[in-house]
Every structure is written in C-alpha cells, then in structure tokens.
Structure 1
C-alpha cells in the first residue's frame, strides 16, 4: 500500500508538471521562440514517458491524465498554425448558405461585401497564401467547421473551443476503440497511450486544431469493424475517414488480401474468387459514402477548384521533405533549376508502384499484417512527398501502435525540428535541421527493419488474426 501511494505521489507530481508545461506551451509560447519550444517539447515527452512507465497497467490514471492535458488547451488560440482561421471562414460561409469550395477569401476581401463576421481578422490570420487558394478540406471536415459557426458565429475563440471539443471527443473515441482493437489483437492495451498521451498529438491536434484526430478515429474504428467481420460498416466508416482528410484513399488497394482471404481452409485462388464480391462491395460502399458526403457541394466548378488545389501540394509547395529535397538538390546540379514540377508528377507514380507492391507481394491477410502494410504505405508516401507538415505524422503514429515498428514515435519527437523554419519573422527552412530529423527517422526505421527481419528469420512468429 505504501509503495502504491509512493508511485501515486510521483505520478501526481509529473501530472502537475505536465499541466504547467502544457499551459506554458499553449498560452505563452511564440512560434519564433524555438529554444523555448524545443525545451518544453522535450520536457513534455519525458513527462509522458515517465507517467506511462510508472503506471503501465493503470489505464484509468493514464486516461484521466490524457484528458486533463487536453483541457489545458481549451481556451487557447493556436500558436503554431494559422490553418484554423480558414476552418472558421469555411464554416461561417457554409452557415450563410455559400459553397466554401467555389470562392476565394481574397476575392471577398477585395470586394468588401462579406457575409460573415470578423472576415478581415480571419483573412489576416490565415494569411494571403491560404486566402488566395480554394479550400481543399473534405465535407466531413466542413461539417465540423459548420458546427463551430453554428455555436460561435461571432467569436474566434468560441470557434476554437468548439473545434477543440470535437477533436477531444474524437480522441476519446480513438482511445476506447483503439483499446478494443488492441485487446482483440492480443496486444498490450497500454500501447494506446503512445498515441493518446503523446505530446505531439496533444500539441499539433488538440492545441493547433488539426482534424487528423477525427480522421484517425474513423480509420481505427474502420479497422476494428473489419477485424470483427463487419466489412460493410467498416467501408462506411472508412469513407467517412476519407471525407475528413483524403489521405486514407491510399489504403484502398491494401484491403485486397484481407477481404478476399476470409476462409483459411481453401486455396488462395479459391479465396480470391469467393472474396471478389465482398471486395467489390467494400470498394463500392467506400466510394459511395465519399460521393454522398461530397454530393451537396458537387458542381463542375467545384471539380476544377478542388483538383487545382490538390495538385498544388504536389507541384508547388515544399516543406519538410526528405527524399524529394535530395532529388531537388540533384536537379539543381544537373539542370540548374527546381525540378518540383517534374518530380511532383513522377513521385506519385513511384508511390502507386510501392502501394501495388505492398498489395500483391506483401502478405496482408490478417489485420496485423494489413495495418503493417498501411503503415509502410503511408510512410513511403510521406518519405517521397514534397510537403510533410508536422500534423501529418498522426496517421503513421496511430497505426504503429498495432505493429512492431516504433519509428513513428521517434518521428513524432524530431518533427519539432521543422519549426526552425519560423525562427525568423519570415519563413526559411533550415535544411540542416531537416536533415537531422530524417537521419534519426530513417536510422530508427532501418534498424527496426533489420531487427524484425532477424527475428522472423531466426524465430518465425505466428500472426494472430
């Protein structure tokens, strides 16, 4: 009893320290103060590690701690990202009956006839670059923005509170569903806290209001439903995940083996033949769900605007890339200019090739194998992308807790190096820091591949489905 009280006292101390550090991060930090940022960031990772280490099986303490840490951010205005200003803009436009995909904030501002409150303040907050491009946030995200507009149509802070509440609720859902999936896969339940208590998730999603939290909730829920055999419900929920952020579209090919290999007593060819109707049904329901969510916004102009904005991410924007930055440097040496336009067309083809390889060459018959394939697929995409914003890492982090790979956890820590780009009043990436970030990520990744290969070679492990 005394020993338990001792551990509780230590846990309470670390929880109080964590609350104070998160408060400082949320309410006092400026994005240009990288020294303070990385100091708080590192301290919070240490605090989370110690809390989990001290209470490895006390999920109640860990869950309450995760909730308390999130509540700290409730009344904060994001200080590392201004994207939420565009979220508010889109939501208020939607509430006023305007299709947010068909107009530019820049044009509304120049015309001076704006139907929403705080328009100039929102435009200044999102920045000219964001305000001069059409929105690329899918319909379920737009629905969340609309909820904020409904409850806080005249308050930026009020909108942020509504966003944060929705994100926290999504994380609560991920906690419960993720824990159930871990139980079903016979994996340690406390792995869920590598995601829920990770300071990266708390700061980038809860703090900076990125809706990857909602996308991850639907994604993990879809995997749980699929594992339980409810492939039709899994398809609907996966479609909703895509309609929050488009990135889960990359996973569609990888479901091929999992859905067509349900009967282990018959041959592979027979499995495929018998499983094709279910596979086609799965894909049909996913696509139908996505189309239904987009239906209220569909028009020829929407298709032009949306596709134009999406293409910009591949052929115009550069941030925190890894392999692409090497390709860009080689391009400068050979042709003397930035090859992003060419690379932006070729690299997606390489990603598709990798995904097809993971689909048909790698074994993905069990849920564990499928999740591993999804992790490798999404990381291949990010490794080859021209733009990798910090909050993107939420997806690989959420998937890795169901695998033997932990390099996304390391990535979630070193991703902070990308913020050295904002140390000055302008924007200038520090490629040395980006290089250090990816040396660590690739180093851990390669080491884990080697260790997993050695384990599987010396002592094959049976995979529980």
Structure 2
C-alpha cells in the first residue's frame, strides 16, 4: 500500500473516532439533522476505510473494536430499553422472577424492590414498565451479570453490558471469518457487519443484544458447515434464548438435512437416517430452550410471556412497510385502525412464505440455506407492524454470507425512521418512511431482476 493511502486510512480512522465521540456524548435523538449528518459522515468514512484496507483483516478488526470502545462510558441516547435490562437484572439478583411482575405495579404500590427503582422506571417509560418482560433467559443472564458487577450504579451496569456486547462482536468476527473461509467467500465480507456504523451505534452504543444472539447463531452455522449438527443445535437454542428471531429459521433446515450431499454416494445416507437426524436436531433445540427457561419456571410464565410477545403484533406500530399500506386500506374501508386484524394475519402470511421457501426453493448448501434465511426474515420484516432499526442486524450478518447487499443499504437509510423522535410528542412523518422503503425496495429489485450476476459462474460453483 502506498504511503498516501496508508496516511488516508489513519486520517479516516481518526475522523471516525471523532464523529463517534460526538455521537456518543453530545447527541440527543431529538436533534434529527445533527444525527443525520453524523450518520452519513460515519458511513462515508467507513466505506473508504473498507475500500482502502479490506485486505488487511487485523487492521479493520482492530479499529472496529476501537470504534466500539469510544462508547464505553456513554449513556445510550437513541433507546431507553436498557433501563428495563437493568431492572430485570437487579430483580434476578434480588431473587425475584422478572417474568412474573410489572415495574409499574411496584411503583404504584410504592414498593421499591431494587436500588434506583424509580429512576429506572422513569427511564424505561410507562409503556415499557406496564408490560411483562419478553427477554429470553440467556439475555436475562447478561442483565444479571451486569447487576452482579454493579447493583447500584446505572453507568456501571451500562459499561458491563457494553463489554458483553463488544465481546460478542469479537466472537462474530472470529467465527464469521472461519465460516467465510469454509464457504470460500472473501474474508473481508465480515466487515459489512463489523465496520458498519449502524451496528456500532445501535448495538454497542444503544445496548441492543442482537450481537450476543448473532454470536451463537454464526457459531451455529460454522458448526453446521463442519457437519457437527449436535453442537449446532445447542448453539442455535442458545441464540433463540437470547432473541426469539432464529425460531423463524427452523423450517428452513429441512432440505439441508434431508437433501444435502444427496449426489455424493460415498456420503449418502438413507432417508430414514436423514429424517432421524433432522428430528433429533429439532428435539435438541427445544430441550435446550426448555432447560434454559427452567430456572424461571412458573405456571404464570408462559401466559405472561405469550401476552408480552403478542403485543408486538396487536399494539405497536413503528417504521412499518406493507403494514402501513394495509392500515390505510383499513382506514379507507372501515374507518379505523385494523391492527388487531392485520397483526394476526401477517404472522400467518410469514409462516406460509417460510413453508414455500422450505419445500419449493433449493436450500441444500449452506449458502443456499443462509440466503433462504435472509429472504424469509426480510419478508417478515417487510410485513411487520413494528420494524425497529436494530432488527436489521440479523439481515446484515446473513448478507455477509450471500451475494445480496440490500441490508447494507437498509442499515444506511433506516436512520430516517428516527425523524419521529424530533417531534414532541414523537410522531412519524410518513414521507420519511416512504423515502426509506423506496430506496430499500429499489435496490432490492435491482439486485433481484436488473443487476447482472457478478461472477455468476464462480458463485454458482459455491452452491
């Protein structure tokens, strides 16, 4: 590399650190245009850093960790969910089951079960505090670890949780690199995730635990590629026990087990044995999940948890796509919001879509399987009533192992959804949402139908 390019890389890294520092310590989410300027600036510097140094894995890995460390002592400024994380962790530390009680009830009764209870309740907000927790057990373990290290300091809790998330991202870098090598894909693809400002800000900055889920998930895919399907099942269960999203992928493993290596007579298995493996894979997953939930078991656990998760389909609306179109049609014909009806239909449509791509799309190889996961989850998000920005993290890591790049574009333009918080009280401007999805869908259509396949023959050899 020339001296000028090396000098430019260092300059870009320093500029990025400055922008991240301003983002972490001097930004309110109501300042939308300042937020937008910093966001675009960081995507620009990250793009050129990637272009200049993509073949230097350890340089990009090092600065991606350094960028995350900039946020270490900051309080999240784009999300207040972390207050509920702290509440749940401290409840467990006090020997109380977080799945069985509402923060709101304790506050109304003037019963303060944990240190800084009022401050945490005010931070999480009434909407969060009036619902049962919906965070699975391994996520709760992260909250408990934070409480163990700091039971009376919010910033202490924040630092501990942030370290856990950074370590998870380091794990994703490690196993993501190994999986890319196994799949004979460019190793630098992992920086679509690791160096992405969206990931650094939303995960490390705002304390969303998708990296912990994705750490187990990428490790699971790596073990599956090694044919170590028992370990893969355990790791997938761990991933689900951090966030429930990987549950959607379970049907898609059908062809990988039943039809994988079918043409290789030396490694072929009887259909009965393959089916036994698939069923065993699922059994191991569910037994592991039940085991991880068992410390919190109560007769009220299941009903509280299902009711809490169900709220996302029946009550909440944010940054939606096709759902908003369906909602407007409902207004036109019925005169009121149809979320109670639409919220029940969209999960069913997603299930049908997943069944279709399970049985009617070729998903035999690992890349084909991951591509099916990418489009299955994308379909769910495109039809969901609530599409928080941090959800895109899963799409982004899946895209690393495929030829599709629309999640990267989405990670850039999703910032438009934050315009809602510049209004007091918050209110979405649908023109910003239309702009966001117009860009995402345009790029997706271009990738699917217009763009000429890049090195098509070489890519197909990988499948």
TM-score for both structures, normalised by structure 2: 0.97
Q: Deviations along 1:404-436, whole A, 9 cap, x unmatched?
A: 110000000000000011002311011110111
Counterpart residue number, 1:293 = 292
Question: 1:458 and 1:116, CA in 2 relative to 1: closer, same or farther beyond 3 A?
Answer: closer
Alignment partner for residue 78 of structure 2, among 80, 93, 109?
Answer: 80
1:261 touches 1:271 (CA, 8 Å); kept in 2?
no
TM-score for both structures, normalised by structure 1: 0.97
**In 2, distance between residues paired with 1:89 and 1:425?**
26
How far residue 456 of structure 1 moved from its aligned partner, in angstroms, is 9.8
Three-state SS of the structure 1 residue aligned to 2:100 is coil
**In 2, distance between residues paired with 1:33 and 1:265?**
58
**In 2, distance between residues paired with 1:262 and 1:397?**
25
**In 1, distance between residues paired with 2:60 and 2:235?**
27
**RMSD, aligned α-carbons:** 1.7
**In 2, distance between residues paired with 1:457 and 1:363?**
20
Counterpart residue number, 1:368 = 367
Q: Deviations along 1:21-51, whole A, 9 cap, x unmatched?
A: 0000000000100000000000000000011
Counterpart residue number, 1:41 = 39
Task: Verify: 1:69 aligned to 2:63, yes or no.
Answer: no
Q: Deviations along 1:48-74, whole A, 9 cap, x unmatched?
A: 001111112011110111011000000
Counterpart residue number, 2:408 = 409
Alignment of 1:184-263 (within 5 A): 184-263=182-261
**In 2, distance between residues paired with 1:81 and 1:428?**
16
Length, aligned pairs only: 462
**In 2, distance between residues paired with 1:438 and 1:270?**
45
Three-state SS of the structure 2 residue aligned to 1:462 is helix
Counterpart residue number, 1:313 = 312
1:368 touches 1:463 (CA, 8 Å); kept in 2?
no
Counterpart residue number, 1:161 = 159
**In 1, distance between residues paired with 2:453 and 2:201?**
35
Counterpart residue number, 2:137 = 139
**In 1, distance between residues paired with 2:282 and 2:454?**
33
Three-state SS of the structure 1 residue aligned to 2:98 is coil
How far residue 173 of structure 1 moved from its aligned partner, in angstroms, is 0.1
2:91 touches 2:97 (CA, 8 Å); kept in 1?
yes
Q: Which runs of 5+ in 2 are unaligned?
A: none
Question: 1:102 and 1:175, CA in 2 relative to 1: closer, same or farther beyond 3 A?
Answer: same
Counterpart residue number, 1:114 = 112
Counterpart residue number, 2:425 = 426
Alignment of 1:372-387 (within 5 A): 372-387=371-386
How far residue 455 of structure 1 moved from its aligned partner, in angstroms, is 3.8
1:316 touches 1:341 (CA, 8 Å); kept in 2?
yes
How far residue 111 of structure 1 moved from its aligned partner, in angstroms, is 1.4
Q: Which runs of 5+ in 1 are unaligned?
A: none
**In 1, distance between residues paired with 2:120 and 2:74?**
16
Counterpart residue number, 1:337 = 336
How far residue 256 of structure 1 moved from its aligned partner, in angstroms, is 0.5
**In 2, distance between residues paired with 1:266 and 1:357?**
26
2:112 touches 2:118 (CA, 8 Å); kept in 1?
no
How far residue 112 of structure 1 moved from its aligned partner, in angstroms, is 1.5
